[in-house]
């Protein structure tokens, strides 16, 4: 009979090794596509996820060029790093998956700073403000949240508008979710829905299709947008925050604000509950 003798194992080491193995899968999403400013400079470009159908935030013009407020901010950040900017236009619901899967390096994509999103991505400091509203034809009577229960309301899927309409409308309200802002706006113009959850520019976009027809009915919330990186990416998050501080202080942020928003930048909050601006 063969006598198989094994060295005595240290119980503490076994426990620690087992814990490490169990924890490893949870760590993979944070590190698999990690990128730093040095990595970006080495490859000579930064790949930015942006909205492609939501003017003036982000849109593709008739020549196929990406334009808008977020495009200008992205170009400024690319200049700060000394690299070219490659844009990837995204639908609302595809923004976070494009980031976490490594398809893009960073999101400058009208990303409302919401606590549930902060569980999936790392927000920067805020760099722009937005207002989420309910927009409908002037002839449609909407004075309170309860009035929404009589309407079919369109929203972009997985957007801040989706969240606010869902939270504020009475139970049972018919809410239709579309793939992006353009599709949501078209649904109202075509009569598929009677109102839409919009941002501060929906009314103007709708009135371009049918002048003097639409108005903001309800204001749900004033929110802020931040840039997004993957969880745990400390260096690129710090670089974006330093960049935002710089363009706020030197007045560069005011130029795209005036160009696209016709406004001056507001005073940005130094903290938002449930949303860290830096990697812990």
Q: What pLDDT, on the 0 to 100 scale, is given for residue 32?
A: 76
Intervals of the chain under pLDDT 50: 1-31
Q: Can you give the three-state secondary structure of the chain, one letter per residue?
A: CCCCCCCCCCHHHHHHHHHHHHHHHHHHHHHCCCCCHHHHHHHCEEEEEEECEECCCEEECCCCCEECHHHHHHHHHHHHHCCEEEEEEECHHHHHHHHHCCCCCEECCCCECCCCHHHCCEEEEEEEEEEEEEEEECCCCCCCHHHHHHCEEEEECCCHHHHHHHHHCCCCCEEEEECCHHHHHHHHHCCCCCEEEECCCHHHHHHHHCCCCEEEEEEEEEEEEEEEECCCCHHHHHHHHHHHHHHHHHCCCHHHHHHHHCCCCCCCCCCECCECCCCC
Tokens found for residue 17: 């090794």
Q: What pLDDT, on the 0 to 100 scale, is given for residue 164?
A: 98
Q: What pLDDT, on the 0 to 100 scale, is given for residue 29?
A: 45
Half-sphere exposure of 81 (CA within 13 A, CB side): 26
Positive or negative, the CA dihedral 106, 178, 259, 89 is: positive
CATH code assigned to 33-130+224-261: 3.40.190.10
Q: What pLDDT, on the 0 to 100 scale, is given for residue 174?
A: 98
Q: What pLDDT, on the 0 to 100 scale, is given for residue 4?
A: 39
CB 77 within 8 A of CB 46: yes
pLDDT single digits (tens) 162-196:
999 999 999 999 999 999 999 999 999 999 999 99
Q: What pLDDT, on the 0 to 100 scale, is given for residue 33?
A: 83
Q: What pLDDT, on the 0 to 100 scale, is given for residue 267?
A: 95
Q: How many CB atoms lie within 10 A of CB 189?
A: 16
CB 160 within 8 A of CB 130: yes
Comparing 33-130+224-261 with 131-222, is the CATH topology the same? Answer: yes
Distance between CA atoms of 71 and 239, rounded to whole angstroms? Answer: 18
Half-sphere exposure of 64 (CA within 13 A, CB side): 0
What order of strands is seen across the sheet that includes strand 58-60? 53-54, 58-60, 66-67
What CATH fold (topology level) applies to the domain 131-222? Answer: D-Maltodextrin-Binding Protein; domain 2 (3.40.190)
Give domain limits for the chain: 33-130+224-261, 131-222
Greatest CA span in the chain, whole angstroms?
95
pLDDT single digits (tens) 103-140:
999 999 999 999 999 999 999 999 999 999 999 999 99
Tokens found for residue 185: 């706006």
């Amino acid at each position: 009979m063969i006598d198989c003798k094994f060295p005595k194992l240290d119980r503490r080491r076994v426990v620690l090794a087992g814990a490490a193995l169990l924890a490893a899968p949870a760590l993979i999403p944070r590190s698999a596509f990690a990128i730093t400013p040095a990595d970006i400079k080495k490859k000579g470009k930064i790949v930015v996820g942006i909205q492609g159908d939501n003017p003036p935030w982000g849109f593709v013009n008739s020549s196929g060029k990406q334009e808008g407020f977020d495009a200008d901010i992205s170009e400024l950040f690319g200049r700060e790093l000394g690299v070219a900017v490659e844009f990837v236009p995204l639908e609302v619901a595809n923004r976070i998956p494009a980031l976490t899967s490594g398809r893009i390096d960073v999101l400058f994509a009208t990303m409302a700073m919401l606590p549930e999103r902060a569980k999936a991505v790392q927000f920067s400091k805020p760099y722009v403000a937005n207002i989420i509203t309910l927009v409908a034809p002037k002839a449609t009577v909407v004075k309170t949240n309860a009035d929404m229960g009589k309407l079919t309301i369109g929203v972009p899927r997985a957007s801040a508008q989706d969240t606010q309409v869902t939270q504020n409308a009475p139970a049972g309200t018919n809410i239709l979710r579309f793939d992006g802002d353009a599709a949501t706006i078209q649904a109202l113009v075509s009569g598929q829905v009677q109102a839409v959850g919009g941002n501060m520019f929906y009314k103007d976009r709708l009135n371009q299709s049918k002048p003097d027809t639409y108005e903001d009915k309800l204001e749900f919330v004033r929110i802020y947008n931040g840039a997004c990186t993957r969880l745990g990416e400390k260096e690129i998050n710090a670089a974006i925050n330093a960049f935002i501080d710089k363009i706020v202080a030197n007045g560069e942020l005011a130029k795209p604000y005036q160009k696209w928003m016709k406004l001056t930048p507001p005073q940005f909050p130094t903290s938002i509950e449930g949303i860290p601006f830096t990697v812990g």
